[in-house]
Amino acid sequence: MKQPLIVANWKMNGSELLLRDLVRAFERQGPDLAAQVVLTLPAPFFSLARALLESGEISWGGQNIHWQDEGAFTGEISAPMIAAMGGTHCIVGHSERRQGWAETDQVVASKAQACLRADITPIVCVGERLEERQQDKTIEVVKRQLEAVITNLAPALLEKIVVAYEPVWAIGTGQEATPEMAQEVHSSLKKLLGTQCLQSPPVLYGGSVKADNVAALLAMDDVDGVLVGGASLVTEEFVRLCAYAGEQAKNNSNG
Ligand code: PGA
């Protein structure tokens, strides 16, 4: 059975209390978690994550890094810093950073490379804006965004990344893409990845994922997991979402 990958993106939310609560809820759930879970957290919670998630059953990481390993960049953090604390993943190119901090495809590519240099997994986000979907440019946009990242990566490194398709219009709106819409884009992204490496890295879907829609998304052939914002901030909802994802993975392998 292939374990789906469930990544929580807390954004600039949450607290140490929430992290403790979530970890306790997962502990109550028992070890049979059929999904792989990664919590991407604000940096002030890293040291608590290191302490609470020491067993490694649940992984954690960051939401953004600078593309340089060190230097005079006040307020920034680097991939080696996350790695040194035991973090294993970092989101790069989230649409909120592309829009709010004018991150270009090239900046996102440099950040992905910084993660790989530090031996942590970049979760590379791509996704079209509403007007781009309306103009039928979805595939063109997401391919351009992904190509910028993968062009300079050797196949062995490419197999170490995670890709997340997040349509901008679906983020935080409660209006998720239909499973078929996600499948169509994922299949194009996987074809593109398949031209560069043998083993396609996982492609996650993100944008208004909840406990109630996760199974239908994961039932699609090319949806390998989900990136979850709002629903990862409500302990019960997130634990339920992970449990449903695990059940769906069992159904997929039985069917
Ligand atoms: P959402 O956010 O689940 O709240 O839509 C997803 C994301 O931005 O990664």
CB 39 within 8 A of CB 5: no
Residue 208 Cα to ligand 1 middle (Å): 6
Active site residues: 94, 166
Q: Which phi and psi angles does 100 have, rounded to 5°? A: -75, -25
Task: Give alpha helix (H) positions in the chain.
Answer: 16-29, 46-52, 79-85, 95-100, 105-117, 130-134, 138-150, 155-158, 179-194, 211-218, 235-254
Q: Residue 254 — pLDDT band, cuts 50, 70, 90? A: confident
| pLDDT at residue 31, rounded to an integer | 55
| pLDDT at residue 229, rounded to an integer | 98
pLDDT at residue 33 tops 80: no
Task: Indicate which atom in ligand 1 lies nearest the CA of residue 170.
Answer: 5
The residue nearest atom 6 of ligand 1, judged by CA position, is 229
pLDDT at residue 213 tops 60: yes
Residue 206 Cα to ligand 1 middle (Å): 6
Beta-ladder partners of 102:
none
Per the prediction, the chain carries an average pLDDT of 95
| pLDDT at residue 202, rounded to an integer | 97
| pLDDT at residue 250, rounded to an integer | 87
| pLDDT at residue 149, rounded to an integer | 96
Provide the residue type at 31 as one letter: P
Task: Indicate which atom in ligand 1 lies nearest the CA of residue 172.
Answer: 5
Q: Quick one: fold of 5-254?
A: TIM Barrel (3.20.20)
3-state helix, strand, coil in the chain (%, to 5): 50, 15, 35
Q: Report how far apart, in Å, the C-alpha atoms of 36 and of each of 104, 146, 153, 251 are.
A: 30, 24, 25, 16
Q: Which residue has the higher pLDDT, 34 or 41?
A: 41
Q: Could you tell me the residue ranges of all domains in the chain?
A: 5-254
Give the three-state DSSP class for 35: coil
Which long-range contacts (C-beta less than 8 Å, at least 24 apart) are formed by 53-56? 53/23, 53/86, 54/86
Residue 29 Cα to ligand 1 middle (Å): 24
Q: Which residue has the higher pLDDT, 29 or 77?
A: 77
pLDDT at residue 144 tops 90: yes
Give the three-state DSSP class for 19: helix
Within 6 Å (CB) of ligand 1, which residues are found?
A: 9, 166, 171-172, 206-209, 227-231
100-112 pLDDT, tens per residue? Answer: 999 999 999 999 9
